[in-house]
Amino acid sequence: KHNLLLKPNSQEIDFGRVNAHLGRLRTKYQGNLATFKEVSGQQHPCKPSGTGSSANGGTGNVPLVDESEELWHGPITLGGQTIQVDFDTGSSDIILNQGSYTPSAQATKTGKTFQTGYGDGTTAKGQIYLDSLEIGGLKANGAAIGLANNKFLNSQEQDSGIAGMAFPALAQLKQDPFFDVLMKANVLQQPVFTFTLRQNQPSLFLGGIPSGLAEPVYVDVDSSQGFWGTQGSVNGNQTNSIQDTGTTLIVAPTSFAQTLFTSLNLQTFQQDGSTYATYDASNPPKIALQFGTFTQDLSPETLSFGQTNDGKPVLSIIGSDVGINSVIFGDSFLRNVTIVF
């Protein structure tokens, strides 16, 4: 099926689209680090040097739409209006396209504005409202909504906004993320949410862990840094890591990626300032990821995200300096696991 990073009806990678995705990622993380500094008064520890529960609570299941294995969006009801949004654990705010939401009669207009940029040159700016929230049958009041004055999302995308699920330290709206609103409303059985991003019935489960799953392996997260960040490794190479459902690939600092590619004897090439690696399809490399005591190899389906114009598979790990000294583990990793946040 059509993949948003591939040329139409082809397995050949459209590097222009990849570069646009990386640009948006770069701007998102630069904005996150700027917000962290504004809120905490300190530089984020992952900023590269030299660069600027209730026992009676419930659960809610949100079926997600797999859009070409690149975006995972589903419904959220704000002020009585159901809107398709991209659930993003790499940011903390609800930002909606112009025309996708009208504040309800009960909404509070805060009188405050927001502005955030994207790497493709698009800027989302507008008013901040507080309104009712319903998702997966769970209800709360006072969810912060940034309503843009323009349509900032690409027309190819079927969703009408972004719903951030990182920690408050990254909230550019200076309000609680929507999951924190649910927690404070005491409507959750447990203060956790679970993503399953495999092709077969992807879902977001709020307030617990779906039945039938094995006991999870727990890994320490430092929530004060704002991200869902852990210590991890790729083929034994230690790194800070961020689990980000709003990122398509696994994006590593260039030096980290180059070290990995060299250790695997992969051929590399540069495109738009990023470093890519190709491999022999008959002898694919093994990519072993570890977080605490949890280990996972990239599956054959997620090892590559497409081909070069001469048919060589391109590794799903790329080197690109997006302004943070961490490896960002996006869907190329997350599609291999069920992950509890």
Kindly list the catalytic residues. 88, 244
Outline where 120-185 has alpha helix (H).
Answer: 178-184
CA distance readout (Å), 23 to 73, 207, 215, 224, 297: 21, 33, 37, 26, 28
Sheet hosting strand 203-206, strand order edge to edge: 60-63, 203-206, 193-196, 338-340
Alpha-carbon distance of 147 to 99, in angstroms, equals 9
Angle at CA 27, nearest 5°, toward 289 and 290? 10
Report yes or no: 320 and 273 within 8 Å, Cβ to Cβ: yes
Q: Which residues pair with 117 in a beta bridge?
A: 123
Q: Residues with Cβ < 8 Å from 94, sequence gap 6 or more?
A: 76, 78, 85, 143, 144, 145, 146, 161, 162, 163, 164, 173, 178
- The number of helix segments (H) and strand segments (E) in the chain equals 5, 23
Alpha-carbon distance of 63 to 82, in angstroms, equals 14
User: How far does CA 177 lie from the centroid of its chain?
Assistant: 14
| CB atoms inside a 10 Å sphere around CB 43 | 12
